[in-house]
Structure 1
Protein backbone atom coordinates (compact mmCIF):
# COMPACT_ATOMS: atom_id res chain seq x y z
CA UNK A 1 0.00 0.00 0.00
CA UNK A 2 1.39 3.38 -1.01
CA UNK A 3 2.09 6.04 1.62
CA UNK A 4 -0.30 8.21 -0.38
CA UNK A 5 -3.12 5.68 0.01
CA UNK A 6 -5.77 7.05 2.37
CA UNK A 7 -8.61 4.53 2.28
CA UNK A 8 -10.85 2.44 0.05
CA UNK A 9 -14.58 2.13 -0.50
CA UNK A 10 -16.32 -0.82 -2.17
CA UNK A 11 -15.27 0.31 -5.67
CA UNK A 12 -12.74 3.11 -5.17
CA UNK A 13 -9.28 3.87 -3.85
CA UNK A 14 -8.77 7.39 -2.44
CA UNK A 15 -5.16 8.52 -2.35
CA UNK A 16 -3.00 11.61 -2.26
CA UNK A 17 -1.49 13.15 -5.37
CA UNK A 18 2.07 13.41 -6.70
CA UNK A 19 3.26 16.22 -8.96
CA UNK A 20 3.96 13.71 -11.75
CA UNK A 21 0.16 13.18 -11.93
CA UNK A 22 -0.48 16.78 -13.02
CA UNK A 23 -1.58 15.68 -16.50
CA UNK A 24 -4.47 13.73 -14.92
CA UNK A 25 -5.72 16.85 -13.14
CA UNK A 26 -5.31 18.96 -16.29
CA UNK A 27 -7.39 16.40 -18.21
CA UNK A 28 -10.10 16.43 -15.53
CA UNK A 29 -10.43 20.17 -14.89
CA UNK A 30 -9.42 21.11 -18.41
CA UNK A 31 -12.76 19.66 -19.49
CA UNK A 32 -15.34 22.48 -19.70
CA UNK A 33 -18.16 20.14 -18.68
CA UNK A 34 -16.30 19.21 -15.49
CA UNK A 35 -15.21 22.76 -14.62
CA UNK A 36 -18.40 24.62 -15.51
CA UNK A 37 -19.65 24.82 -11.90
CA UNK A 38 -16.29 25.66 -10.29
CA UNK A 39 -16.04 29.35 -11.22
CA UNK A 40 -18.39 32.08 -12.41
CA UNK A 41 -16.88 31.93 -15.90
CA UNK A 42 -17.01 28.12 -15.93
CA UNK A 43 -13.75 28.14 -17.88
CA UNK A 44 -11.61 25.02 -17.93
CA UNK A 45 -8.52 25.19 -15.77
CA UNK A 46 -5.20 26.08 -17.33
CA UNK A 47 -2.17 23.93 -16.65
CA UNK A 48 -0.92 26.63 -14.27
CA UNK A 49 -4.21 26.64 -12.30
CA UNK A 50 -4.13 22.85 -12.06
CA UNK A 51 -0.50 22.93 -10.90
CA UNK A 52 -1.28 25.48 -8.14
CA UNK A 53 -4.28 23.41 -6.99
CA UNK A 54 -2.26 20.21 -7.02
CA UNK A 55 0.57 21.76 -4.97
CA UNK A 56 -1.99 22.98 -2.43
CA UNK A 57 -3.68 19.59 -2.20
CA UNK A 58 -0.34 17.82 -1.73
CA UNK A 59 0.65 20.25 1.05
CA UNK A 60 -2.74 19.89 2.76
CA UNK A 61 -2.51 16.10 2.57
CA UNK A 62 1.01 16.10 4.02
CA UNK A 63 0.19 18.55 6.82
CA UNK A 64 -3.36 17.51 7.77
CA UNK A 65 -4.25 14.39 5.73
CA UNK A 66 -6.92 16.49 4.02
CA UNK A 67 -6.97 17.79 0.46
CA UNK A 68 -8.74 16.72 -2.68
CA UNK A 69 -7.74 13.11 -3.35
CA UNK A 70 -7.33 11.00 -6.46
CA UNK A 71 -10.17 8.59 -7.16
CA UNK A 72 -9.20 5.41 -8.90
CA UNK A 73 -11.46 2.51 -9.64
CA UNK A 74 -10.44 -0.70 -7.86
CA UNK A 75 -11.51 -2.98 -10.70
CA UNK A 76 -9.01 -1.60 -13.22
CA UNK A 77 -6.98 1.15 -11.54
CA UNK A 78 -8.46 3.80 -13.84
CA UNK A 79 -8.30 7.44 -12.66
CA UNK A 80 -11.92 8.68 -12.64
CA UNK A 81 -11.80 11.98 -10.74
CA UNK A 82 -11.07 13.61 -7.40
CA UNK A 83 -12.85 13.99 -4.07
CA UNK A 84 -11.84 15.17 -0.66
CA UNK A 85 -11.61 18.07 1.72
CA UNK A 86 -10.37 21.56 1.14
CA UNK A 87 -10.34 24.27 3.76
CA UNK A 88 -13.06 26.86 3.13
CA UNK A 89 -11.09 30.15 3.24
CA UNK A 90 -13.66 32.42 4.92
CA UNK A 91 -14.19 30.09 7.90
CA UNK A 92 -11.37 27.52 7.96
CA UNK A 93 -13.89 24.65 7.97
CA UNK A 94 -13.24 21.36 6.16
CA UNK A 95 -15.17 21.55 2.89
CA UNK A 96 -16.13 18.43 0.93
CA UNK A 97 -15.82 18.56 -2.84
CA UNK A 98 -15.65 16.20 -5.81
CA UNK A 99 -15.37 16.16 -9.58
CA UNK A 100 -15.50 13.18 -11.93
CA UNK A 101 -14.94 12.67 -15.62
CA UNK A 102 -18.25 12.82 -17.47
CA UNK A 103 -18.21 9.18 -18.50
CA UNK A 104 -18.34 8.28 -14.79
CA UNK A 105 -21.31 10.50 -13.91
CA UNK A 106 -24.44 8.67 -12.81
CA UNK A 107 -22.61 5.55 -11.63
CA UNK A 108 -22.75 6.46 -7.92
CA UNK A 109 -19.01 7.07 -7.61
CA UNK A 110 -19.36 10.64 -6.26
CA UNK A 111 -21.84 9.48 -3.62
CA UNK A 112 -19.65 6.51 -2.70
CA UNK A 113 -16.55 8.71 -2.35
CA UNK A 114 -18.45 11.40 -0.41
CA UNK A 115 -19.95 8.85 2.00
CA UNK A 116 -16.53 7.30 2.54
CA UNK A 117 -15.04 10.72 3.24
CA UNK A 118 -17.91 11.56 5.62
CA UNK A 119 -17.15 8.48 7.69
CA UNK A 120 -13.38 8.88 7.41
CA UNK A 121 -13.20 12.46 8.74
CA UNK A 122 -14.99 11.58 11.98
CA UNK A 123 -13.05 8.34 12.42
CA UNK A 124 -9.63 9.91 11.78
CA UNK A 125 -9.89 13.56 12.92
CA UNK A 126 -11.43 15.60 15.70
CA UNK A 127 -13.46 17.74 13.28
CA UNK A 128 -16.84 18.64 14.84
CA UNK A 129 -18.40 19.03 11.38
CA UNK A 130 -17.68 19.63 7.72
CA UNK A 131 -19.44 21.66 5.08
CA UNK A 132 -20.23 21.09 1.44
CA UNK A 133 -21.69 23.34 -1.19
CA UNK A 134 -22.50 23.37 -4.86
CA UNK A 135 -23.60 25.85 -7.46
CA UNK A 136 -27.39 26.17 -7.15
CA UNK A 137 -27.68 25.01 -10.80
CA UNK A 138 -25.66 21.84 -10.18
CA UNK A 139 -28.51 19.49 -9.34
CA UNK A 140 -26.46 16.24 -9.43
CA UNK A 141 -23.85 17.60 -7.01
CA UNK A 142 -26.50 18.91 -4.64
CA UNK A 143 -28.16 15.48 -4.74
CA UNK A 144 -24.89 13.83 -3.62
CA UNK A 145 -24.70 16.11 -0.57
CA UNK A 146 -28.27 15.20 0.38
CA UNK A 147 -27.72 11.47 -0.25
CA UNK A 148 -24.90 11.34 2.30
CA UNK A 149 -27.11 13.02 4.92
CA UNK A 150 -25.94 16.62 4.79
CA UNK A 151 -28.32 19.31 6.03
CA UNK A 152 -29.03 22.40 3.92
CA UNK A 153 -28.06 25.61 5.68
CA UNK A 154 -28.12 28.67 3.42
CA UNK A 155 -27.44 30.05 -0.04
CA UNK A 156 -24.38 32.28 -0.33
CA UNK A 157 -22.00 33.59 -2.96
CA UNK A 158 -18.72 31.79 -2.28
CA UNK A 159 -15.24 33.32 -2.87
CA UNK A 160 -15.10 32.26 -6.54
CA UNK A 161 -18.32 34.20 -7.13
CA UNK A 162 -20.72 31.26 -7.47
CA UNK A 163 -24.17 31.32 -5.91
CA UNK A 164 -24.11 28.11 -3.89
CA UNK A 165 -26.35 26.07 -1.66
CA UNK A 166 -24.40 25.26 1.50
CA UNK A 167 -24.78 22.13 3.62
CA UNK A 168 -23.35 20.89 6.91
CA UNK A 169 -22.76 17.49 8.44
CA UNK A 170 -22.15 17.42 12.17
CA UNK A 171 -20.24 14.75 14.04
CA UNK A 172 -22.76 12.16 15.22
CA UNK A 173 -23.32 12.11 19.01
CA UNK A 174 -21.90 8.57 19.16
CA UNK A 175 -18.95 9.47 16.86
Structure 2
Protein backbone atom coordinates (compact mmCIF):
# COMPACT_ATOMS: atom_id res chain seq x y z
CA UNK A 1 0.00 0.00 0.00
CA UNK A 2 1.19 3.48 -0.78
CA UNK A 3 1.92 6.04 1.90
CA UNK A 4 0.04 8.73 -0.02
CA UNK A 5 -3.33 9.76 1.42
CA UNK A 6 -6.42 8.83 -0.54
CA UNK A 7 -8.04 12.17 0.32
CA UNK A 8 -6.61 15.46 1.51
CA UNK A 9 -8.58 18.43 2.80
CA UNK A 10 -7.29 21.75 4.05
CA UNK A 11 -6.25 20.35 7.44
CA UNK A 12 -6.61 16.58 7.15
CA UNK A 13 -5.18 13.60 5.31
CA UNK A 14 -7.15 10.35 5.07
CA UNK A 15 -5.16 7.15 4.60
CA UNK A 16 -5.85 3.44 4.38
CA UNK A 17 -5.07 1.60 7.61
CA UNK A 18 -2.14 -0.71 8.30
CA UNK A 19 -2.10 -3.63 10.72
CA UNK A 20 0.46 -1.88 12.93
CA UNK A 21 -2.08 0.90 13.62
CA UNK A 22 -4.52 -1.35 15.50
CA UNK A 23 -3.75 0.34 18.84
CA UNK A 24 -5.04 3.68 17.49
CA UNK A 25 -8.34 2.05 16.56
CA UNK A 26 -8.58 0.37 19.96
CA UNK A 27 -7.95 3.73 21.64
CA UNK A 28 -10.59 5.47 19.48
CA UNK A 29 -13.31 2.89 20.05
CA UNK A 30 -12.30 2.33 23.67
CA UNK A 31 -13.97 5.61 24.66
CA UNK A 32 -17.56 5.02 25.87
CA UNK A 33 -18.52 8.46 24.51
CA UNK A 34 -17.40 7.36 21.01
CA UNK A 35 -19.21 4.00 21.17
CA UNK A 36 -22.47 5.18 22.74
CA UNK A 37 -24.06 6.07 19.40
CA UNK A 38 -22.67 3.07 17.49
CA UNK A 39 -24.49 0.19 19.18
CA UNK A 40 -27.35 -0.31 21.60
CA UNK A 41 -25.25 -1.44 24.55
CA UNK A 42 -22.95 1.57 24.12
CA UNK A 43 -19.96 -0.52 25.14
CA UNK A 44 -16.47 0.20 23.82
CA UNK A 45 -15.25 -2.14 21.11
CA UNK A 46 -13.18 -5.12 22.16
CA UNK A 47 -9.74 -5.79 20.69
CA UNK A 48 -11.31 -8.55 18.59
CA UNK A 49 -13.97 -6.18 17.22
CA UNK A 50 -11.27 -3.67 16.32
CA UNK A 51 -9.19 -6.38 14.63
CA UNK A 52 -12.23 -7.46 12.59
CA UNK A 53 -13.07 -3.89 11.60
CA UNK A 54 -9.47 -3.14 10.67
CA UNK A 55 -9.23 -6.25 8.48
CA UNK A 56 -12.49 -5.36 6.72
CA UNK A 57 -11.47 -1.74 6.14
CA UNK A 58 -8.06 -2.78 4.83
CA UNK A 59 -9.69 -5.26 2.44
CA UNK A 60 -12.25 -2.68 1.23
CA UNK A 61 -9.48 -0.15 0.68
CA UNK A 62 -7.37 -2.59 -1.34
CA UNK A 63 -10.25 -3.87 -3.47
CA UNK A 64 -12.53 -0.83 -3.85
CA UNK A 65 -10.72 2.18 -2.33
CA UNK A 66 -13.51 2.24 0.26
CA UNK A 67 -13.45 1.43 3.96
CA UNK A 68 -13.17 3.70 6.93
CA UNK A 69 -9.92 5.63 6.58
CA UNK A 70 -7.43 6.80 9.18
CA UNK A 71 -7.61 10.59 9.71
CA UNK A 72 -4.40 12.45 10.46
CA UNK A 73 -3.99 16.18 11.03
CA UNK A 74 -1.63 17.44 8.34
CA UNK A 75 0.05 20.12 10.46
CA UNK A 76 1.55 17.68 12.97
CA UNK A 77 0.62 14.10 11.96
CA UNK A 78 -1.62 13.60 15.00
CA UNK A 79 -4.19 10.78 14.72
CA UNK A 80 -7.69 12.32 14.85
CA UNK A 81 -10.02 9.36 14.18
CA UNK A 82 -11.53 7.51 11.25
CA UNK A 83 -13.92 8.37 8.41
CA UNK A 84 -14.83 6.76 5.14
CA UNK A 85 -17.25 4.56 3.30
CA UNK A 86 -18.35 1.13 4.36
CA UNK A 87 -20.58 -1.04 2.25
CA UNK A 88 -24.06 -1.27 3.77
CA UNK A 89 -25.99 -4.57 3.67
CA UNK A 90 -27.85 -3.26 0.59
CA UNK A 91 -24.52 -2.88 -1.23
CA UNK A 92 -24.65 0.92 -1.09
CA UNK A 93 -21.66 2.96 0.07
CA UNK A 94 -22.29 4.22 3.60
CA UNK A 95 -20.43 7.20 5.02
CA UNK A 96 -19.33 7.07 8.63
CA UNK A 97 -16.91 8.78 10.99
CA UNK A 98 -15.71 8.75 14.58
CA UNK A 99 -13.20 11.09 16.19
CA UNK A 100 -11.24 10.97 19.40
CA UNK A 101 -13.15 13.11 21.94
CA UNK A 102 -10.27 15.57 22.35
CA UNK A 103 -10.77 16.55 18.70
CA UNK A 104 -14.53 17.14 18.83
CA UNK A 105 -15.78 20.64 18.12
CA UNK A 106 -13.00 21.60 15.69
CA UNK A 107 -14.90 20.95 12.46
CA UNK A 108 -12.80 17.89 11.60
CA UNK A 109 -15.75 15.51 11.12
CA UNK A 110 -17.46 17.95 8.77
CA UNK A 111 -14.22 18.56 6.88
CA UNK A 112 -13.59 14.82 6.49
CA UNK A 113 -17.21 14.11 5.46
CA UNK A 114 -17.11 16.93 2.89
CA UNK A 115 -13.89 15.56 1.45
CA UNK A 116 -15.38 12.07 1.27
CA UNK A 117 -18.51 13.40 -0.46
CA UNK A 118 -16.45 15.18 -3.08
CA UNK A 119 -14.13 12.20 -3.54
CA UNK A 120 -16.83 9.57 -4.10
CA UNK A 121 -18.53 11.58 -6.84
CA UNK A 122 -15.29 12.58 -8.58
CA UNK A 123 -13.42 9.27 -8.29
CA UNK A 124 -16.14 6.60 -8.55
CA UNK A 125 -19.27 6.03 -10.59
CA UNK A 126 -21.47 5.49 -7.52
CA UNK A 127 -24.91 7.06 -8.15
CA UNK A 128 -25.42 7.89 -4.47
CA UNK A 129 -24.32 7.08 -0.95
CA UNK A 130 -26.16 6.73 2.33
CA UNK A 131 -25.40 7.77 5.87
CA UNK A 132 -27.13 7.23 9.16
CA UNK A 133 -26.80 8.24 12.77
CA UNK A 134 -28.49 7.54 16.07
CA UNK A 135 -31.48 9.87 16.38
CA UNK A 136 -29.97 11.20 19.65
CA UNK A 137 -26.66 12.13 17.99
CA UNK A 138 -27.39 15.74 17.04
CA UNK A 139 -23.80 16.51 16.04
CA UNK A 140 -23.57 13.64 13.56
CA UNK A 141 -27.03 14.33 12.13
CA UNK A 142 -26.03 17.97 11.62
CA UNK A 143 -22.93 16.92 9.67
CA UNK A 144 -24.95 14.67 7.36
CA UNK A 145 -27.31 17.57 6.66
CA UNK A 146 -24.46 20.09 6.18
CA UNK A 147 -22.81 17.96 3.48
CA UNK A 148 -26.11 18.01 1.59
CA UNK A 149 -27.68 14.69 2.54
CA UNK A 150 -31.46 14.33 2.64
CA UNK A 151 -33.35 12.45 5.37
CA UNK A 152 -35.11 9.32 4.16
CA UNK A 153 -36.42 7.20 7.03
CA UNK A 154 -35.85 6.02 10.58
CA UNK A 155 -35.24 2.38 11.38
CA UNK A 156 -33.43 0.27 13.96
CA UNK A 157 -29.76 -0.34 13.19
CA UNK A 158 -27.41 -2.00 15.71
CA UNK A 159 -30.30 -1.82 18.19
CA UNK A 160 -30.56 1.98 17.91
CA UNK A 161 -33.21 4.29 16.48
CA UNK A 162 -31.36 5.50 13.42
CA UNK A 163 -32.08 8.35 10.99
CA UNK A 164 -31.05 7.43 7.45
CA UNK A 165 -29.94 9.93 4.81
CA UNK A 166 -29.04 9.77 1.12
CA UNK A 167 -27.06 11.95 -1.25
CA UNK A 168 -27.44 11.45 -4.98
CA UNK A 169 -24.78 12.25 -7.53
CA UNK A 170 -25.17 15.89 -8.60
User: TM-score scaled by structure 1?
Assistant: 0.95
Taking structure 1 as reference, are residues 60 and 4 closer, same or farther at Cα in structure 2, changes over 3 Å only? farther
- Paired residues for 1:20-59 under 5 Å: 20-59=20-59
**Contact 1:131–1:167 under 8 Å retained in 2:** yes
**Contact 1:4–1:16 under 8 Å retained in 2:** no
Tell me, yes or no, if structure 1 residue 115 matches structure 2 residue 110: no
- Paired with 1:137 and 1:68, the residues of 2 have a C-alpha distance of 22
- Paired with 2:3 and 2:74, the residues of 1 have a C-alpha distance of 17
- Paired with 2:12 and 2:127, the residues of 1 have a C-alpha distance of 26
Which segments of 5 or more consecutive residues in structure 1 lack a partner in the other structure?
A: none
- Paired with 2:102 and 2:140, the residues of 1 have a C-alpha distance of 15
What is the CA-CA distance between 1:67 and the residue it aligns to?
0.2
The secondary structure found in structure 1 opposite 2:53 is helix
- Paired with 2:4 and 2:23, the residues of 1 have a C-alpha distance of 18
What is the CA-CA distance between 1:2 and the residue it aligns to?
3.6
- Paired with 2:86 and 2:92, the residues of 1 have a C-alpha distance of 8
- Paired residues for 1:50-69 under 5 Å: 50-69=50-69
- Paired with 1:149 and 1:56, the residues of 2 have a C-alpha distance of 28
Name the Cα RMSD after superposition. 1.1
Tell me, yes or no, if structure 1 residue 137 matches structure 2 residue 136: yes
The secondary structure found in structure 2 opposite 1:116 is helix
CA displacement 1:21-70 (0-9 Å, x = unmatched): 00000000011111111100010001110000000000000000000000
The secondary structure found in structure 2 opposite 1:5 is coil
Tell me, yes or no, if structure 1 residue 10 matches structure 2 residue 37: no
- Paired residues for 1:80-95 under 5 Å: 80-89=80-89, 91-95=90-94
Corresponding position of 1:168 = 166
- Paired with 2:107 and 2:160, the residues of 1 have a C-alpha distance of 25
